[in-house]
A and B are shown apart, each in its own frame.
Chain A
Amino acid sequence: MKPWQLLALAAGVVGLFLLPLGLRNYGMYVAALWCVYVIAGMGLNLTVGYAGQISLGQAAFLGIGAYTAGLMAKAGVPFPLIVLASASLCFVIGLALGFPALRVQHHYLAFATLGFNMLCYLVFRNEEWLTGGTFGLNGIPRPDILGWPFTRTAEFYKLSVAVMLVLAALMAGLLRSPWGRAFAALRDNPIRAESVGINTTFYTLMAFAIGAAYAGVAGALFAPLVGLVEPASFSTATSLSMLLMVIVGGSGRFFGPAIGAVIVVLLPEWLRVAADWYLAIFGLAIVVMMVWLPGGLLSLPDRLARR
């Protein structure tokens, strides 16, 4: 990293923590929601952008994390344990979802993960004894950590930012390690990667499992933030917008999900009144973007520099 980039990053982090000074309650809520989606998006970016395994099932993991967190929070389990449990459960299920990816590729994988999401949605909606059915789980309390309450939105926002930064740092470390190279090799040419001795089975499974675990943590934050966990939040439509989030920002770019989440989650939430028009234009803009700028918004500087 160059010095100016480091400086910009530091300024960004300070800005994130100072944000509550300038926002009302609802603005803070939306900003915390942004953190949740950025975390899930980072996971998906690992699966899709770095390891090249398309996934249309990220919302299912967000849901599994959120339901786990909701149920455990109502049972009075401490928050750090909840986060750990949501992440581990998603890691294991993500590992299982990775197995189809060993057999099928590209568009078939897109279908398989989409089907998995549908199946999870049906379970969330129908297993009333566990998930509360269509009405979902409500009244999920916000946590206390070591006697420190995070019940106010401003406090919870800071907690979300902190979790997001820790996970981002972990992700950056992972991508700089030999694992990062192995994921890229898997994406660029799986057969060649195999022939130079990379265990493609292992890394494919890990790409799914780690991506899912990130969504699990996001879910564990989502449940207490919103206070209500209902199936509609985790339908395939959410998965599709998460994929769009990664692609719009720039898949395989570290800050892609952060930018993408602003456009896909933050703006529609803020522009409540004009949200439908926004979505109509957004949908058609995606088509235009795929034609003119397939690398996403963050590829714009490179593109301009090459001119």
Chain B
Amino acid sequence: MTDFLQLVISGTATGACYALAALGFTLLWQASGTINFALGEMIMLPAFTMLFFLGPAGLPLWAAFALTVVASLVVLGAGFKALVVDPLIRHGVIPLVIATLGLSIGFKNLVRVGYSAQVFTFPSIFPDELLDIGGLRVSGADIGTVVLALTVAAGVQTFLSRTLTGRAMQAVAQNRDAARVLGINAGRMVLYAFLINAALAALTALLVTPVYLAKFDMGDTLGLKAFYAAIIGGFNNSRGALLGGVIVGVLENLVGAYISPGYKEGVALVLFLLVIVFRPQGLLGRAEERKV
């Protein structure tokens, strides 16, 4: 029983990170119909940027993180929108899927040849000690990760549902033309979604890199898990991303421990396939209508 609970807790911590990445993914989809296959690389790049600020530039972690967030907002937020998404969005979903696939290959190999193909360790922002809670041995990093990730996710959720800007963003997501008629600056709302996605990616990098280690292809698994999370939860719903992330993280841990390490991601994968075939809108999502 203790083992089981420990597995659930550490699974929730990993899942919370998937959820953060998935949250950005669902936001982009809602705001602009962009399916971002370069999501994993958008976590990998900030991780390496932080390493650069920490190592060669010798900055403390908080400063490195702050600078990375700024860089991420400019390049992966506004830059990505202006250079890739804006010219392609009117051609429909698939060309953007292809373009982000290209972006993912490009980023990965740029880091590999331009920087290094090696694995780098990354400092954790949480103390590395084990806490004893009623017989359960839980790592401080796991608890810190869950708390921080859930706070941020709840913050984004509150921003979307409670503030005027957030509600305007949702209005644009639901019906762009109607939102425009009501005087909402749709272009700006879409830009906000990209900026939030970029900031979330930098934060995810800060939380997962100590565990996953920085490598040029670290985005492959991460992007995929965030993907499962977003779809299982329902990717036109930001709460779905949270649920999906935790489901994927916990299942992965339990299957790895009790069934077979080789099929660690198998169960989440099967769940993902079942959801796509039988409930494509996801566990918490609304159905989308078919257009002629």
Answer yes or no: A303 CB below 8 A from chain B CBs.
no
Task: Give B58-114 interface residues, CB cut-off 8 Å to A.
Answer: 83-84, 87-88, 91, 93-99, 101-110, 112-114
Instruction: Find out whether the CB atom of A287 lies under 8 angstroms from the CB atom of B94.
Output: no
Answer yes or no: B202 CB below 8 A from chain A CBs.
no
CB distance from B201 to the nearest CB of A (A): 18
A283-B106 contact, Cβ under 8 Å, with A107-B97, A119-B269, A290-B88? yes
Dominant secondary structure at the B interface:
helix
Partner of A290, one of B95, B112, B224, B292: B95
Instruction: Find out whether the CB atom of A103 lies under 8 angstroms from the CB atom of B109.
Output: no
CB distance from A20 to the nearest CB of B (A): 32
CA distance A118 to B224 in the complex (A): 10
CA distance A111 to B102 in the complex (A): 17
Instruction: Find out whether the CB atom of B98 lies under 8 angstroms from the CB atom of A115.
Output: no
Answer yes or no: B244 CB below 8 A from chain A CBs.
no
Partner of A104, one of B83, B109, B260, B277: B277
CB distance from A132 to the nearest CB of B (A): 14
Task: List residues of chain B with CB within 8 A of the CB of A282.
Answer: 102, 105-106
Instruction: Find out whether the CB atom of B269 lies under 8 angstroms from the CB atom of A284.
Output: no
Answer yes or no: B164 CB below 8 A from chain A CBs.
no
Answer yes or no: B273 CB below 8 A from chain A CBs.
yes
CB distance from B116 to the nearest CB of A (A): 12
A284-B103 contact, Cβ under 8 Å, with A111-B227, A247-B98, A276-B109? yes
Task: Give A272-307 interface residues, CB cut-off 8 Å to B.
Answer: 276-277, 279-287, 289-291, 294
Please report B residues at the A interface, Cβ cutoff 8 Å: 35, 83-84, 87-88, 91, 93-99, 101-110, 112-114, 220, 224, 227, 231, 260, 262-263, 265-266, 269-270, 272-273, 276-278, 280, 290, 292
Please report A residues at the B interface, Cβ cutoff 8 Å: 54, 99-100, 103-108, 110-112, 115-116, 118-119, 122, 125-126, 189, 191-192, 237, 240, 243-244, 247, 276-277, 279-287, 289-291, 294
A-B contact pairs, 9 of them (CB 8 A): A100-B276, A118-B269, A122-B269, A244-B102, A277-B109, A280-B113, A283-B102, A284-B106, A290-B102
